[in-house]
Structure 1
Amino acid sequence: MKSSCDNELHCRKKEMPLNEKFSKLFDGLEECDEEEQMQKIREMNEIINEMDEEEFITVFTEELFNKIHQMIKEKTLSWRNAILLLKQAGYRKELKSFFCYSFDDSSLSKRMPGMIIEEERRIEEKNERLLVDLCECYLLLCDKCIPDELLSNIVPCLLKVALNKEENEETQKEVEIALLALSHISKFCEIKQELYLNGITEIIKYHQEHHNLTQLSYQRAWNFLINRFSNDKSLEEVIVNELHFTREARRELEELMRCIDWKRKGERGKEVKEVKIIWRWLDAIYDYFYFCELWNEELVGLISCIVQVFRASRDNYPDISRDCIFTLKSAAEKRNVKIDVLLKEGTIVAFSEEMNQSTLDDDIMWNGLLFFLSISERLKEKEDEETDETKRKELKRRIFEKMEEEEFEDCIESFHKIFDFLNRKYYDGLSLNISDYFVNA
């Protein structure tokens, strides 16, 4: 007689894989009426929620999107039910940062932009709900640059949804999806300020006063704005001094850190939602450091917070600690981040400790090298008129002492052995004398 444990193991072995479950339900849609279809699609959406990236890519192929389009044309699948499925697929894809490009070349992808424009131009009997749904599905699933004409329709439409200030659960979910879709617009897509700036500024300011957005929604509102910053430097004053990006990023990171058990090892694809949001904040902060030229005192707290995230994540969340390293390297390259701030807030110590590890991959080594290269180059010259020669020399001395204290000379020696490889892989123009790239008195 089998034990209960044996029976449980046998059942698990017999359980159908998620992609097969999904495909079986999808194949049966054409045989159902609209209400039965809706029920099956709700089951399929539950399966989508459990999928990892590999399972998702296996299911959502170009052939599947073409089939959905064909079923819509043949009226064996309604747009209402198609959107119910497509929106959940897009939401899951963007929420989990899955890399799935199969939608872009499908016949469905080619059909939806025309529908959005047609619905937007409709004067009588415009279906606002359908328009919003089409815009969200298209942005969440699409990974190519969106044409200007389409953006001029989509952006105001979704900002109108995101500006809804009601705090009930249904509205919060609608706002979250709208902002998630908007934040997926590539930074390489240029959008005229008049289409978005007043709206996104109001969304961010209102949340700062009333805290009406979810953590994910608020981060994605900022992500959308920072993506615009890469093409439009005139946003700098708004981002830095009006909306206080560095203050808000620090506050959100500190709050998210308290929600995570850092001692528990994170499993790829199964991270708690706060880990994904932190990753998105670090991505936005990296871009902020890269494009922003203004100094503000709030940067001090943000640098300190990123170092805290790095220390908390380094044992069990390597992807997060790696992003902290890349972000802090970006900060060191910018003159609006003072070198003495990097020293005081523990950045130099953090890099020293990381690069003294016995096992490092090439990217960490390279970014660590560039970090110290940036510090070294900046210390060779005056950074601003207020920094006199005495202060500059004192700062160099303090940094050198800190690196000696961390026994960093061992790390320098190790670089002598691998730098020829790194030099060929990353940048042929650098000197092979690795010592030139480290601070010395």
Structure 2
Amino acid sequence: MSLPNDASEDRMQMMTKTERFSKLFDELERCREDEQMQKMEEMNGLIDEMNEEELKSIFTIELFDKIHQIIEEKTLPLENALVLLKHVGYYRELKIIYLESFDYSLLRERMKEMIIDENEKKEEINEKILTDLCECYALLGEDDIFGEVLSIIVPCLLKVALKKDETEEAQKEVEMALLALGNIGYWVEKESYGNEIKEIIKYHQEHQNLTRLAYQSAWEFLIKRFHNYESLEEVFVNDLHFAREARREIEELKRDVDWKRKEETGKEAKELLIFRKWIYNIDNYFTSCKLWNEEVEKLLSSFVQMIREFRDNSKKVSNWCFFSITNAAENRNVKIDDLLKSGAVDAFSEEMKQSTLEDKIVYDCLYFFLNVSRRLNEKKDDEKKEAKRKSIKRKMFEWIEEGYEDVMTSFHAILPDLAEKSKFLQLSKYSSDYLWSL
């Protein structure tokens, strides 16, 4: 006969992850502090395995408000609550999950007050509590961060991120601080903290002292500011060599990721999540970049290569790359000639001829060719530029295999349906817009 606690454990195993999490959370108030930590370790393990839908269903405004309540009532010590909240923020940001519930909760406002109050203590300040509060606030929020709280959070986290200690514990602290900074890069002014983040990136390039996620996050802190301050691109391209570094990191991750692990365990490997974050940030760069050199050309070629490499064993990665190259084609600073030389035109043409295609990929392919077509059909006033445009169009004719026109025309009937499903962009309803004529 099973013992009572064995039966209880069996029932727990039969519950879904969200049900088990809710049960553990409800028990927190009735536990001693040491028992709370044990239960939170179990809760953190469940968070690691949750997908976006599960995480959103658990971490609602009501749950964040409840956490605020039990902190205020002192039934859950602040230090224990921060352990749980940091873990939620870590995986929310690592998995690129949009979680706006924190922004509308009582906990967000209370945490903001705690950051300001702790910072004002000066000599009596508890550095660990302040750092944990700043990390939670930065990792969990989606809304703007500005004013006094931003001026406290960024210096506090940079102080941690600048540590050169290479012990495992120190590396974890640096990783968490940089991950939090990466999430709030949008709200930081161009002139602020540029030297500190450059120092972190350059020191790593020389000494390899950061974890992969920490290094990626340092770049993210900069690249999110790049959208608002294009003058940063000179630093990106010629000083820090973003494209070269991103390409190297992706090539290393490709070798190290176990691409079948998720299918076998239902849990994404951390390396795969970092790989996706690199692609996400490179996509941001492709969308806005103006300086185009050999390093960026090679990065584009790597994306084309990944489309072919992952077409069979990881369609999701292949689709990410299709989307990024589609954005690159829309950016007029990306040369059509480079789209040809990189093999992008070939890869998109090959995909269009597949017998079964997801609507999203059909959309990306059509939008890619629409942008290329529009740019190639814009006549130039300068004779040399006009001659080059015609030369590239001839190359395009040679590059596209026979049957391209039939493929494009075959998609004409489904264009209204595709446009309806992708309202954020508009496809042309004329199939001739996707074709070329001299």
Is 1:306 equivalent to 2:298 in the alignment?
Answer: no
Query: Which amino acid in structure 1 is aligned with residue 32 of structure 2?
Result: D
SS in structure 1 at match of 2:307: helix
CA–CA distance in 1 between the matches of 2:428 and 2:84?
A: 55
CA–CA distance in 2 between the matches of 1:45 and 1:430?
A: 44
Is 1:371 equivalent to 2:381 in the alignment?
Answer: no
Deviation at 1:73, TM superposition (A): 1.4
User: CA 1:386 to 1:123, structure 2 compared with 1: closer, same or farther past 3 Å?
Assistant: farther
Gaps of 5+ in 1: 1-9
CA–CA distance in 2 between the matches of 1:166 and 1:26?
A: 35
Match of 2:206 in 1: 209
User: CA 1:382 to 1:197, structure 2 compared with 1: closer, same or farther past 3 Å?
Assistant: farther
Match of 2:238 in 1: 241
CA contact (8 A) 2:352 2:362 kept: yes
CA contact (8 A) 1:419 1:434 kept: no
CA–CA distance in 1 between the matches of 2:259 and 2:394?
A: 35
Query: Which amino acid in structure 2 is aligned with residue 285 of structure 1?
Result: I
CA–CA distance in 2 between the matches of 1:395 and 1:27?
A: 65
Match of 1:76 in 2: 75
TM-score (norm 2): 0.89
Deviation at 1:198, TM superposition (A): 1.2
Moved more, 201-210 or 29-38: 29-38
Match of 1:289 in 2: 286
For 1:38-437, what aligned pairs fall within 5 Å after superposition? 38-185=37-184, 187=186, 189=187, 191-262=188-259, 266=263, 270-381=267-378, 388-405=385-402, 407-422=403-418, 426=423, 432-437=429-434
Q: Percent identity?
A: 57
CA–CA distance in 1 between the matches of 2:149 and 2:381?
A: 45
SS in structure 1 at match of 2:278: helix
CA–CA distance in 2 between the matches of 1:386 and 1:277?
A: 47
User: CA 1:108 to 1:417, structure 2 compared with 1: closer, same or farther past 3 Å?
Assistant: same
Deviation at 1:84, TM superposition (A): 1.3
CA contact (8 A) 1:158 1:182 kept: yes
Query: Which amino acid in structure 2 is aligned with residue 70 of structure 1?
Result: Q
Q: CA RMSD in A?
A: 2.7
Deviation at 1:256, TM superposition (A): 1.1
CA contact (8 A) 2:135 2:176 kept: yes
TM-score (norm 1): 0.89
Query: Which amino acid in structure 2 is aligned with residue 234 of structure 1?
Result: S
User: CA 1:385 to 1:173, structure 2 compared with 1: closer, same or farther past 3 Å?
Assistant: farther
CA–CA distance in 1 between the matches of 2:70 and 2:337?
A: 63
User: CA 1:266 to 1:317, structure 2 compared with 1: closer, same or farther past 3 Å?
Assistant: farther
| Number of equivalences | 429
CA contact (8 A) 1:179 1:221 kept: yes
Deviation at 1:83, TM superposition (A): 0.9
Is 1:17 equivalent to 2:16 in the alignment?
Answer: yes
Query: Which amino acid in structure 2 is aligned with residue 57 of structure 1?
Result: K
Query: Which amino acid in structure 2 is aligned with residue 73 of structure 1?
Result: E
Deviation at 1:366, TM superposition (A): 2.7
Deviation at 1:166, TM superposition (A): 1.5
User: CA 1:385 to 1:199, structure 2 compared with 1: closer, same or farther past 3 Å?
Assistant: farther
CA–CA distance in 2 between the matches of 1:67 and 1:427?
A: 36
Match of 2:28 in 1: 29
User: CA 1:429 to 1:98, structure 2 compared with 1: closer, same or farther past 3 Å?
Assistant: closer
CA–CA distance in 1 between the matches of 2:145 and 2:265?
A: 30
Match of 1:3 in 2: none
CA–CA distance in 2 between the matches of 1:19 and 1:391?
A: 59
SS in structure 1 at match of 2:298: helix
CA–CA distance in 2 between the matches of 1:210 and 1:126?
A: 32
Deviation at 1:178, TM superposition (A): 1.0
User: CA 1:192 to 1:97, structure 2 compared with 1: closer, same or farther past 3 Å?
Assistant: closer
CA contact (8 A) 2:24 2:39 kept: yes
Query: Which amino acid in structure 1 is aligned with residue 342 of structure 2?
Result: E
